[in-house]
């Protein structure tokens, strides 16, 4: 009896694998008020590998925690993410992986917000949360985090 081997799922073959670079355990560093801050982020795949679950913990630097759920919506051909946190905030984002970066956006308060994962390497990447008040022509960084892989 021969066993057929399936083709590996890659970004090129399956858009639902575009966020796989984020899977793992991460140390996070950011600067605020002239100080370096540290936290952690744990990201794993659930529900048959179709949902990415994020568990962000800003402690010890920041008493702030958050969870997100990200899924590739094949019908809409985009990523969708829901974020909730220890301050009772709920945010929803949609976006795509393009030109080597993942970008998710949302509109609120007459402004455009985006998260970007860029400079992606197997063991590190840069994440930023940005705001635009001119429809996306210019962006202001609200939070920038450097990620370094632990596992």
**What does the alpha-carbon distance between residue 137 and residue 20 come to, in Å, rounded to a whole number?**
29
Using CA atoms, how far apart are residues 143 and 121, in angstroms rounded to an integer?
A: 20
Per the CB < 8 A criterion, the answer to whether 25 and 150 are in contact is: yes
pLDDT of residue 6: 45
- Taking the model in full, what pTM does it have? 0.90
Structural domains of the chain ordered from first start: 15-149 (2.40.128.20)
Torsion of CA 51, 22, 27, 115, to 10 degrees: -90
10-residue mean pLDDT series, the chain (151 residues): 45 83 98 95 97 97 97 97 98 97 96 98 98 98 98 94
Distance of CA 76 to the CA centre of its chain: 19
What pLDDT shows up at residue 13? 63
Q: How many CB atoms lie within 10 A of CB 89?
A: 9
Residue 22 to residues 26, 70, 149, Cα–Cα distance (Å)? 9, 11, 9
Q: Residue 27: which residues within 8 A CB-CB, separation 6 or more?
A: 38, 39, 40, 147, 148, 150
Tokens representing 17 are 């694998």
The tens digit of pLDDT for each residue in 1-19 reads 444 444 445 555 699 999 9
């Amino acid at each position: 009896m021969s066993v057929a081997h399936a083709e590996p799922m890659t970004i090129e073959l399956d858009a639902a694998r575009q966020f796989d670079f984020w899977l793992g355990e991460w140390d996070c560093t950011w600067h605020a008020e002239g100080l370096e801050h540290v936290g952690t982020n744990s990201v794993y795949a659930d529900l048959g590998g179709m949902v990415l679950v994020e568990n962000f913990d800003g402690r010890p630097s920041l008493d702030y925690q958050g969870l997100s759920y990200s899924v590739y919506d094949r019908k809409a051909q985009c990523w969708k993410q829901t974020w909730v946190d220890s301050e009772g905030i709920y945010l929803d984002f949609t976006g795509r992986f393009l030109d080597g970066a993942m970008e998710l956006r949302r509109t609120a308060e007459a402004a455009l917000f985006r998260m970007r994962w860029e400079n992606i390497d197997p063991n590190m990447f840069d994440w930023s949360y940005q705001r635009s008040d001119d429809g996306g022509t210019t962006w202001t960084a609200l939070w920038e985090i450097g990620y370094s892989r632990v596992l």
